[in-house]
Structure 1
């Protein structure tokens, strides 16, 4: 549970949660149509500045990818974990794993199976049943005969994978405001090894979660990076993630923001590069618009770097700072807002929603087995 706050503090928290999830989805959608294009092709097709707004992807403008899909199911799993805690059970990675298995079904199924009682309201959103270039490690870790096994730090799924599929879904762990930063970091790590077992992959996820968490607590992005670096150095295999964050800070000091400086940090296909690009573009952004456009106009995984940058900028500035025309066309905006508000409700008023005297509505919305 989050601490008892004034009404103004609660409103600020909700605005930042909404901003984080909506901002990540906007960044995802901005990059979706150019994800696999080199920068010269992007500029040839869209002008010298590259894309300046949504371009068609998956048959529409404002379409999101697997990055946003998995982020939403992460939130769903975290809410269910807190609901379960009220009845005596408490192991959040298990609930997040179950949520990811439900996401994996959306990548092959035609639509929700109404016979299943564990889907909850999110699993019945038909627009989510669409394959949007999911990462191979995410798919392989959540399908096949080993799908039901819970990956752990001692026995992770895909132990050699450090793809950005860990970090692009990690921001929701930073929204657990009542948690201590070390626990936020640890939970993000434990939920990363459900699909990605390389230390750089899961430590990059932990780092992003801590940076988001710091920002929601009123700190700066720089303070979040410094805290992440302090937590990273205690972990075996931290070197690549640590170097990536130092590289992002060095790029900020190097001069005017540019696509070339983004390119110096990598292409974003692996976790530490997506983290570094997202952090760099957040730190040099004059506003949300400029930061997101910088984050997607490069030769690489534009939707994932846009997602990370959007998560950070949205958490930093809140939902009202997001460009209205991008919000208006964003696929799934209503679903994202409902989930954001439900997370805030659960973390602030969980006892009222599913305590001994509560009705069944919340548990039907977020069923736990």
Structure 2
């Protein structure tokens, strides 16, 4: 697989890119954690619990902890880990990113059944050694089944052939952070990796569309411009009609009145991938700032953790980490891990040859991201 153009990085570009990587990963995690306590509740139930304005900040979720993330964030982090490992393994001539991402998600699957890290597995790398990740946080049955054995789903033979929910979509923001890749290749990689757990073309292309949006934003495009680019690349793809319709409906809803739950739920209130994408995108488009956008994204009768995660990743990639609410960042579960992984990703993408090329190797990098 060729990655197309190769980026040349100046200091200012590196700093901007790192800020957008941090923003996308932290923003997605904040949206996930914000929406987790109200996922599965109707808007009336949300208001009964939190008042007429609904949820305005972190509330107690898993085990009574505020700011706790779900499997959405766990899987996203392992997606990043897999992409770094793919770059490291490229030096060996073993260049197949879908395989490395799949192996990373198998490491996530181990966290859902093991008590803690297996220190005997030297090839696990550092992320699989983070003890806080060894917790079940509402993983979908599609992900548990898809990563339940070592067989990798492919476009020709996907796992869960009829799965159309949003679990492949919500872990796909990291593909968009491959800013040195051509958009067509970002789309292809996201779709291939969605097939690891989701066989429905709409779920796969929604994941690809989300990656394309993040990719354009990370390259400095506007949010509206990123949607237009995605629509152009999705046009004519089998199964892409529903995703394109969802993107257009999100754009059209911006002009239909004051943002609120009625407009959001008109875009969809199920966990189908295209509806989650539409809601997350709409809230990012109309949010006055990150905080406002995320509050819109979780206060409705749909899958709030998923829509919050999509909205947060888009706004974080658009504005960078400095736009994220400091109070929410301070309470976010796993924040040090997210930051460390984001910085490793930015380092790998901008300085990879200096870290692990045949002619040079940074001490410890291959221990963090083993080639095995």
Residue aligning to 1:139: 144
Distance 2:6 2:14 in 1: 10
Q: 1:93-139 CA deviation, whole Å, 9 max, x = no partner?
A: 00000001110111111111111122110000000000000011111
| Shift in Å, 1:148 | 1.3
| Shift in Å, 1:5 | 2.7
Residue aligning to 1:215: 217
Contact preservation (8 Å) 1:152, 1:194:
yes
Residue aligning to 2:271: 269
Residue aligning to 1:110: 115
Deviates more, 1:299-308 or 1:239-248: 239-248
Distance 2:90 2:270 in 1: 36
When the two chains are superposed, the root-mean-square deviation of aligned CA atoms in Å is 1.0
Contact preservation (8 Å) 2:23, 2:319:
yes
Q: Note the residue ranges of structure 2 that are not aligned, 5 or more in a row.
A: none
Matched, 1:80 2:82: no
Contact preservation (8 Å) 1:164, 1:268:
no
Contact preservation (8 Å) 2:271, 2:303:
yes
Of 142, 162, 165, the residue aligned with 1:163 is: 165
In structure 1, the residue corresponding to 2:38 is in which secondary structure? coil
Residue aligning to 1:362: 365
Of 11, 19, 24, the residue aligned with 1:7 is: 11
In structure 2, the residue corresponding to 1:74 is in which secondary structure? helix
Distance 2:102 2:123 in 1: 13
The residue correspondences of 1:33-72 to structure 2 (distance < 5 A) are 33-59=37-63, 60-72=65-77
Deviates more, 1:133-142 or 1:226-235: 226-235
| Shift in Å, 1:4 | 2.1
The residue correspondences of 1:192-271 to structure 2 (distance < 5 A) are 192-271=194-273
Distance 1:322 1:20 in 2: 10
Deviates more, 1:25-34 or 1:265-274: 265-274
Distance 2:323 2:274 in 1: 27
- Seen in structure 2, the aligned counterparts of structure 1 residues 289 and 268 have a Cα distance that, compared at 3 Å, is farther
Distance 2:241 2:180 in 1: 29
| Shift in Å, 1:359 | 4.5
Contact preservation (8 Å) 2:354, 2:362:
no
Residue aligning to 2:155: 153
Distance 1:218 1:256 in 2: 27
Distance 1:308 1:274 in 2: 8
- Seen in structure 2, the aligned counterparts of structure 1 residues 268 and 289 have a Cα distance that, compared at 3 Å, is farther
Residue aligning to 1:306: 308
User: TM-score normalized by structure 1?
Assistant: 0.97
Contact preservation (8 Å) 1:2, 1:347:
no
User: TM-score normalized by structure 2?
Assistant: 0.97
Distance 1:256 1:351 in 2: 49
Contact preservation (8 Å) 1:35, 1:303:
yes
Q: 1:214-244 CA deviation, whole Å, 9 max, x = no partner?
A: 0111111111111111111231111211111
| Shift in Å, 1:268 | 4.4
Matched, 1:93 2:95: no
In structure 2, the residue corresponding to 1:358 is in which secondary structure? coil
Contact preservation (8 Å) 2:18, 2:343:
yes
Distance 1:152 1:229 in 2: 24
Q: 1:7-51 CA deviation, whole Å, 9 max, x = no partner?
A: 111111110100000000000000011111111010011011100
In structure 2, the residue corresponding to 1:272 is in which secondary structure? helix
Contact preservation (8 Å) 2:168, 2:194:
yes
Matched, 1:290 2:292: yes
Distance 2:251 2:270 in 1: 16
Q: Note the residue ranges of structure 1 that are not aligned, 5 or more in a row.
A: none
Equivalent pairs counted in the alignment come to: 366
